[in-house]
């Protein structure tokens, strides 16, 4: 089992960096919208099997640490993938697939994850869901201007998700440094909580 408290703080660090990375772009979230993202965030780790996808909209961001692809990363084995991904093999890795409609996209499609590298898997989950949150928030703000954001995994979503994947995830060195920083900041934020309680 992962430490839910630490993982929640870790997810928040990724989310903050992801939201802030759009500052100065047309996709920038206001302070209020960023705060709303944290207000609606739920990080959970159910012990039972069942429908366990992560998902997000304008009023919900749910990150599931027991997601089946995370379990595959932990166990170093691929269970439950669609047969069209069965040829995706690389020693010491599991293939993390995206939706079939864009899995082959070189910027935001599926990618190999080292066995046990749970942080990499959760990074993908969080960046994917933050993209949905921004997509739906923009659409709600102005349906005309942002009509290309309508389809759940359409062009608008892929643009946002590709930007996040390029910025934080696709390059192994950048990713390693970013994940280390998020883990450190997550640890520090928990120390602050303890001191405030004392
Ligand atoms: Zn999605």
CA of 120 to the centre of ligand 1 (A): 17
CA of 197 to the centre of ligand 1 (A): 37
pLDDT in tens, 32-79: 999 999 999 999 998 876 667 889 999 999 999 999 999 999 999 988
CA of 136 to the centre of ligand 1 (A): 12
CA of 122 to the centre of ligand 1 (A): 14
Q: Tell me: pLDDT of 136 over 80.
A: yes
pTM for this entry: 0.94
Write the CA distances from 3 to 45, 94, 124, integer angstroms: 9, 22, 19
**How many whole angstroms separate alpha carbon 139 and alpha carbon 148?**
9
Give the model's pLDDT for residue 51. 63
Give the model's pLDDT for residue 8. 97
pLDDT in tens, 81-121: 999 999 999 999 999 999 999 999 999 999 999 999 999 99
CA of 162 to the centre of ligand 1 (A): 13
Q: Tell me: pLDDT of 1 over 70.
A: no
How is 47-73 classified by DSSP, letter by letter?
Answer: SS-S----EEETTEEEEETT-HHHHHH
CA of 153 to the centre of ligand 1 (A): 6
**How many whole angstroms separate alpha carbon 158 and alpha carbon 172?**
21
The first and second tokens of residue 21, run together, are 């990375």
Write the CA distances from 39 to 51, 60, 70, 97, 168, integer angstroms: 23, 9, 24, 29, 23
Q: How many residues does the chain have?
A: 198
**How many whole angstroms separate alpha carbon 115 and alpha carbon 102?**
23
CA of 65 to the centre of ligand 1 (A): 16
Three-class secondary structure of residue 155 per DSSP: helix
């Amino acid at each position: 089992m992962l430490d839910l408290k630490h993982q929640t703080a870790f997810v928040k660090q990724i989310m903050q960096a992801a939201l802030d990375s759009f500052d100065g772009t047309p996709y920038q979230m206001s302070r209020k919208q960023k705060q709303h993202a944290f207000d609606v965030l739920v990080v959970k780790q159910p012990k039972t099997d069942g429908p366990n996808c992560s998902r997000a909209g304008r009023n919900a961001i749910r990150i599931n640490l027991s997601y089946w692809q995370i379990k595959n990363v932990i166990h170093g084995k691929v269970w439950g993938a669609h047969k069209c991904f069965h040829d995706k093999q690389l020693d010491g890795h599991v293939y993390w697939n995206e939706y079939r409609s864009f899995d082959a996209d070189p910027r935001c499609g599926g990618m190999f994850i080292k066995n046990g590298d749970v942080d990499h898997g959760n990074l993908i989950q969080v960046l994917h869901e933050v993209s949905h949150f921004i997509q739906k928030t923009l659409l709600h703000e102005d349906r005309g201007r942002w009509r290309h954001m309508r389809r759940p995994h359409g062009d608008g979503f892929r643009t946002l998700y590709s930007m996040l994947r390029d910025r934080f995830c696709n390059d192994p060195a950048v990713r390693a440094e970013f994940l280390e920083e998020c883990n450190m900041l997550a640890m520090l934020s928990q120390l602050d909580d303890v001191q405030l309680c004392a």
